[in-house]
């Protein structure tokens, strides 16, 4: 019953998380497009009011005419539409999903003893995962404060800048975080945790900088006080960072469905390359919005770099041909031992297979605990899931999860021989 309820919680939280993420990313992408596409208002009256940009658009059978006031509008409407609950709801649902899917079963999903055993304490791995979020946010925020703020002679922040320097530091932080995560956590969890750390910083940008800055501007307008442009500038800076984080985060969240990515020997390099490819492709779209206005050259090089990175990964990660695979001594010995049995279904040693399943698999796939609705404790259920067993145990080696039950290469070879022999169960 516990696993059944966890599956429901996982499904509903994932559904909620996707919905709120679509709302957040959609509004973020729209406003980036809007800012990149604004033109100087043609109406002199708008310019005198302080309007810095306008856009005419057609959608859904109507025409829209958004106007931007970069610092202070001539008056403040009684009803303002704020954009922050999308961010908060996305993070809260994502964190809840992380708790249900990974932190609740840290021994299985977070810890890979072949990488770092966390002293056999699941709670230590949980604390380590949470610390990753906190440390990345603190380091990222410090980079923005130290290198991204322009200060006067008295040390007061008067603007933002040094975008290239800030970007280089952030890229370095992402590389370090990816390396550390892949060294300390199970590979699938490592990819997800890096994405979650970036997403946490995105939401923290909204909570700590963007919305507070907007509230200060609104309060100043309402009280008639001078409006400090720095609040809008800092909010814009963090908002731009968020848009470049988006595609890397989405990749990290999807990666757990593709074991060939996170199970690579140099998984952290794969993760970094995929994230940089996503950021480069996002840069192409950001600059493409303003290209037709003559604000910059055609940004095709960014798309080319992103696509080139993807192609390099596809070629570099291609599986070796069967003839090039060199078996280990254990696998070779097992193959010799089971070769004759694999050639003849009737001679296959089912007792040996059942012993492997009993010690490595059935504790999570039985009548009481049916992880992913898979049972392997009866002949009929084993036969029904034979293809999945072969794929997960032999091809991708994704199961047992993080090899928590210590299956050997010889035992994986035994499962392979069983499947190639026609997956006999009696």
Residue that the structure tokens 């990222």 belong to? 140
Cβ distance 157 to 232 under 8 Å? no
Neighbour-count burial of 18, counting CB atoms closer than 10 A to its CB (0-12 exposed, 13-18 middle, 19+ buried): middle
User: Does 426 reside within a domain?
Assistant: no
- Taking alpha carbons only, the member of 176, 146, 142 closest to residue 161 is 146
Task: Look up the domain containing 387 and give its range.
Answer: 325-420
If asked whether residues 307 and 198 sit together in one domain, one would say yes
Question: Which residue, of 276, 291, 316, is where some domain finishes?
Answer: 316
User: Does 102 reside within a domain?
Assistant: yes
User: Does 397 reside within a domain?
Assistant: yes
Q: CA gyration radius for the chain?
A: 27
**Residues recorded for the chain:** 426
What is residue 294's DSSP assignment? Answer: T
What's the CA gap between 237 and 205, in Å, rounded?
10
User: Does 291 reside within a domain?
Assistant: yes
- Taking alpha carbons only, the member of 188, 200, 191 closest to residue 252 is 191
If asked whether residues 130 and 27 sit together in one domain, one would say yes
Q: What is the full per-residue pLDDT of the chain (426 aa) written as tens digits?
A: 677 888 889 899 999 999 999 999 999 999 999 999 999 999 999 999 999 999 999 999 999 999 999 888 988 888 999 999 999 999 999 999 999 999 998 988 899 888 999 998 999 999 999 999 999 999 999 999 999 999 888 888 889 989 999 999 999 999 999 999 999 999 899 999 999 999 999 999 999 999 999 999 999 999 999 999 899 999 999 999 999 999 999 999 999 888 889 988 899 999 999 999 999 999 999 999 888 788 888 999 999 999 999 999 999 998 766 554 444 445 544 544 544 444 444 467 888 888 888 888 888 888 877 777 788 888 888 888 888 888 888 887 888 877 778 889 998 999 888 888 888 888
Q: Which two tokens stand for residue 261?
A: 């990515």
If asked whether residues 202 and 343 sit together in one domain, one would say no
Question: Which residue, of 316, 351, 370, is where some domain finishes?
Answer: 316
User: Does 425 reside within a domain?
Assistant: no
If asked whether residues 222 and 107 sit together in one domain, one would say yes
Question: Phi/psi at 158 (nearest 5 deg)?
Answer: -115, -10
Tell if the pTM clears 0.85, that is, is over it. Answer: no
The string of DSSP codes covering 39-102 is B--S-HHHHHHT--EE--EEETTEEE--EE-SS--SS--S------HHHHHHHHHHHHHHIIII
User: Does 359 reside within a domain?
Assistant: yes
User: Does 152 reside within a domain?
Assistant: yes
User: Does 181 reside within a domain?
Assistant: yes
Q: Can you list the pairs that 294-301 forms with residues at least 24 positions away whose Cβ atoms lie under 8 Å?
A: 295/36
If asked whether residues 249 and 346 sit together in one domain, one would say no
If asked whether residues 361 and 251 sit together in one domain, one would say no
If asked whether residues 308 and 357 sit together in one domain, one would say no
Q: Tell me if the bond preceding 400 is cis, omega within 30° of 0.
A: yes
If asked whether residues 61 and 115 sit together in one domain, one would say yes
Look at the chain and report how many structural domains it folds into. 2
If asked whether residues 16 and 131 sit together in one domain, one would say yes
What's the CA gap between 108 and 113, in Å, rounded?
10
- Taking alpha carbons only, the member of 376, 370, 384 closest to residue 358 is 376
CB contact set of 171 (below 8 Å; sequence gap of 6+): 276
Question: Which residue, of 294, 316, 338, is where some domain finishes?
Answer: 316
If asked whether residues 251 and 331 sit together in one domain, one would say no
If asked whether residues 241 and 287 sit together in one domain, one would say yes
Q: Which two tokens stand for residue 190?
A: 């490592």
If asked whether residues 296 and 337 sit together in one domain, one would say no
Question: Phi/psi at 302 (nearest 5 deg)?
Answer: -65, -45
Cβ distance 150 to 160 under 8 Å? yes
CB contact set of 212 (below 8 Å; sequence gap of 6+): none
């Amino acid at each position: 019953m516990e696993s059944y309820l966890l599956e429901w919680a996982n499904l509903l939280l994932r559904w909620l998380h996707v919905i709120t993420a679509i709302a957040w990313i959609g509004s973020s992408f729209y406003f980036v497009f809007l800012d990149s596409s604004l033109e100087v208002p043609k109406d002199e009256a708008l310019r005198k009011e302080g309007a810095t940009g306008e856009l005419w658009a057609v959608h859904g059978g109507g025409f829209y005419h958004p106007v931007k006031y970069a610092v202070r509008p001539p008056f403040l409407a009684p009803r303002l539409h704020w954009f922050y609950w999308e961010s908060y709801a996305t993070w809260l649902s994502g964190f809840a999903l992380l708790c249900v899917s990974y932190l609740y079963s840290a021994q299985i999903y977070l810890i890979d003893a072949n990488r770092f055993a966390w002293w056999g304490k699941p709670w230590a791995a949980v604390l380590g995962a949470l610390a990753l979020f906190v440390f990345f946010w603190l380091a990222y925020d410090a980079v923005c404060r130290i290198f991204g703020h322009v200060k006067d002679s008295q040390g007061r922040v008067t603007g933002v800048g040094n975008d290239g320097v800030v970007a280089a530091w952030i890229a370095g932080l992402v590389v370090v975080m990816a390396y550390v995560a892949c060294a300390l956590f199970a590979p699938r969890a490592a990819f997800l945790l890096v994405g979650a750390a970036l997403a946490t910083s995105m939401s923290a940008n909204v909570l700590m900088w963007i919305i507070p800055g907007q509230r200060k501007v609104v309060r100043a307008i309402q009280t008639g006080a001078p409006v400090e442009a720095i609040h809008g500038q800092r909010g814009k800076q963090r908002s731009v960072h968020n848009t470049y984080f988006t595609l890397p985060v989405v990749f990290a969240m999807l990666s757990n469905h593709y074991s060939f990515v996170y199970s690579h020997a140099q998984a952290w390099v794969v993760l970094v390359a995929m994230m940089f490819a996503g950021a480069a492709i996002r840069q192409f779209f950001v600059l493409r919005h303003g290209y037709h206005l003559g604000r910059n050259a055609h940004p095709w090089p960014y798309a080319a770099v992103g696509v080139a990175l993807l192609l390099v990964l596809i070629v570099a990660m291609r599986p070796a041909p069967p003839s090039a695979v060199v078996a280990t001594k254990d696998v070779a010995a097992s193959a010799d031992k089971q070769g004759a049995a694999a050639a003849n279904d009737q001679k296959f040693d089912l007792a040996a297979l059942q012993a492997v399943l009993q010690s490595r698999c059935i504790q999570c796939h039985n009548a009481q605990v049916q992880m992913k609705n898979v049972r392997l404790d009866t002949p009929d259920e084993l036969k029904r899931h034979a293809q999945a067993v072969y794929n997960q145990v032999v091809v991708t080696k994704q199961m047992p999860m993080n090899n928590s039950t210590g299956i050997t290469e010889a035992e994986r070879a035994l499962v392979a021989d069983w499947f190639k022999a026609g997956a006999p169960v009696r």
